[in-house]
Chains A and B, each alone.
Chain A
């Protein structure tokens, strides 16, 4: 069982490790030129004694671009590491489960052969069946153990502002989106939607929804390449985050099983994104849903 444990730990750390940050403090974008600046200001006294301040604007557009590139590569490496960890984990699990299954199948087959040949000893058959039962139990125990291994024993809950979380998530998604020609719109609640959540896990869930939306529109006409992220405070005080795009939405035949693992409509997709989102949201006592054709939302309790 050691192999599963090892692969499980590697997978857990790969899933929980924080993705890189992008935004540096004090940077802002000039709307007209699209260039980025940092403002440094310094108080000084004018020769006639009046107080003045010296403002220096530094153009950091190139530096920012380089930073974005690094962040994007790091993010890609991070995702690759997770896929590798997942693959190794799956392989270890398959190996462990294959042993008892192979034993059960072979014992059964042997019993059948003995019965067919007409010289089956009841004693021998009984023994084989006993072993089959024990091996089935062994397979069950492996599955039980997997549940203990996988993240997350319980989210580390703290109060989070969903508006802030949206900013953090969009910052992570921005470089990739910009490259794909997709822009983000925010429709944030004026009153901060406060929820109790594990920041890293919820960020990951929201990021998955945003990435799905970006992928859905990246090959469409420019006027449809928009993703809207909205937040609101519900009547009972819980907070909702929703992600909508102008894409074609989910094909009807895929709607029912959308949140199940290994179900995907994307070429090369693993089919784990939405299923992980659902696990994360439900572990927080929240709900996640596919609201309209291309809008997904989750609500978390306060």
Chain B
């Protein structure tokens, strides 16, 4: 049985490594990707993971990527990380079935508890 895992997609190197360190301190396995394309190519998704997506990214955005996952029938909890002015997009994504969203600059404890909640819900999910 694989361990709980967080998969994070964000273009910014510093933010990516910071969040990676944060989840390690919480004893969660983390996998990060610098772009939506890299995620689609290499991510291994299973029933123990939670996906974090930055909304604003060059190329394919976080919401585009979410649409792509929905189109492929992939069911994982997705949490969006939004910046100033992206709230309408996040709301739209929630309507399409995203698990949650958090505003940047975010509170780390809140992010951690959202991720843990998503992973917990995922385990209860029977499919």
B104 touches A110 (CB 8 A): no
Asked if A247 is an interface residue, CB under 8 A from chain B, the answer is no
User: Is the Cβ of B104 less than 8 Å from the Cβ of A102?
Assistant: yes
Q: Which residues of A contact B85 (CB under 8 A)?
A: 87, 91, 94-95
- B17 and A95: CB pair below 8 A? no
Q: Give the shortest distance, in Å, between B108 (CB) and chain A (any CB).
A: 4
B window 71-127: CB within 8 A of A: 83-85, 104-106, 108-109
CB-CB < 8 A to B84: which residues of A?
90-91, 94-95, 98
Is there contact, CB below 8 Å, between B106 and A110?
no
CA distance A87 to B105 in the complex (A): 19
Q: In the complex, which residues of chain A have a beta carbon less than 8 angstroms from the beta carbon of B14?
A: 99-100, 103, 131, 134-135, 138
Contact: B22 with A106, CB < 8 Å?
yes
A99 with B12: CB separation less than 8 A:
yes
Q: Chain B 36-69 against A: per-residue CB contact (8 Å), 1 yes, 0 no?
A: 0000000000000000000010000000000000
Is A144 among interface residues, defined by CB-CB distance under 8 A? no
A87 to B84, CA, bound (A): 11
B21 close to A (CB within 8 Å): yes
* Contact B83 A95, beta carbon cutoff 8 Å: yes
Tell me if B12 and A103 are in contact (CB < 8 A): yes
* Contact status of A102 and B56, CB under 8 A, knowing A90-B84, A91-B84: no
Is A270's beta carbon under 8 Å from chain B? no
Q: Does B1 contact A (CB under 8 A)?
A: no
Q: How many A-B residue pairs have CB under 8 A?
A: 63
CB distance from A251 to the nearest CB of B (A): 30
Q: Does any Cβ of A come within 8 Å of B19's Cβ?
A: yes
Q: Which residues of A contact B18 (CB under 8 A)?
A: 102-104, 106-107, 110, 131
Asked if B17 and A131 make an inter-chain contact with CB atoms under 8 angstroms apart, the answer reads yes
Q: Are B106 and A102 in contact (CB under 8 A)?
A: yes
Min distance, Cβ A127 to any Cβ of chain B, angstroms:
9
Q: Give residues 237-288 of A contacting B (CB, 8 Å).
A: none
Contact partner of A114 among B12, B15, B25, B106, CB < 8 A?
B25
Which residues of chain B are within 8 angstroms of A109 by Cβ–Cβ distance?
22, 108-109
B26 within 8 A of A: yes
Residues of A within 8 A of B26 (CB): 113
Q: Are B108 and A95 in contact (CB under 8 A)?
A: no
- In the complex, A105 has a CB within 8 A of chain B: yes
Contact yes or no, A106 B25, CB < 8 A = no
B15 pairs with A99, CB closer than 8 A: yes
Among the listed A100, A106, A117, which residue makes an inter-chain contact with B21, where contact means beta carbons less than 8 Å apart?
A: A106
Scoring B17, B19, B26, B105 by chain A CB atoms within 10 A of each residue's CB, the highest score goes to B105
B residues in contact with A117, CB < 8 Å: 25
A102-B21 contact given A94-B83, A94-B84, A138-B14, CB 8 Å threshold: no
Residue ID in chain A nearest B84 by CB atoms: A94
Of residues 68 through 117 on chain A, the ones whose CB sits less than 8 Å from some CB of chain B are: 87, 90-91, 94-95, 98-107, 109-110, 113-114, 117
Contacting pair A103 B25 (CB below 8 A):
no
Q: Which residues of B contact A105 (CB under 8 A)?
A: 105, 108
Compute how far the CA of A105 lies from the CA of B12 in the bound complex, rounded to whole angstroms.
15
Please report the C-alpha to C-alpha distance between residue A94 and residue B83 in the assembled complex, in whole angstroms.
8
Name B's A-contacting residues (CB within 8 A).
12, 14-15, 17-19, 21-22, 24-26, 56, 83-85, 104-106, 108-109
- Beyond A106-B22, A113-B26, A131-B18, 16 additional contacts (C-beta under 8 Å) are A87-B85, A91-B83, A91-B84, A99-B12, A99-B14, A102-B104, A102-B105, A103-B15, A106-B19, A107-B21, A109-B22, A109-B108, A110-B18, A110-B21, A110-B22, A134-B14
A–B complex contacts, Cβ < 8 Å, 11 sampled: A95-B83, A98-B83, A102-B106, A103-B15, A106-B19, A106-B21, A109-B108, A109-B109, A113-B22, A128-B21, A131-B18
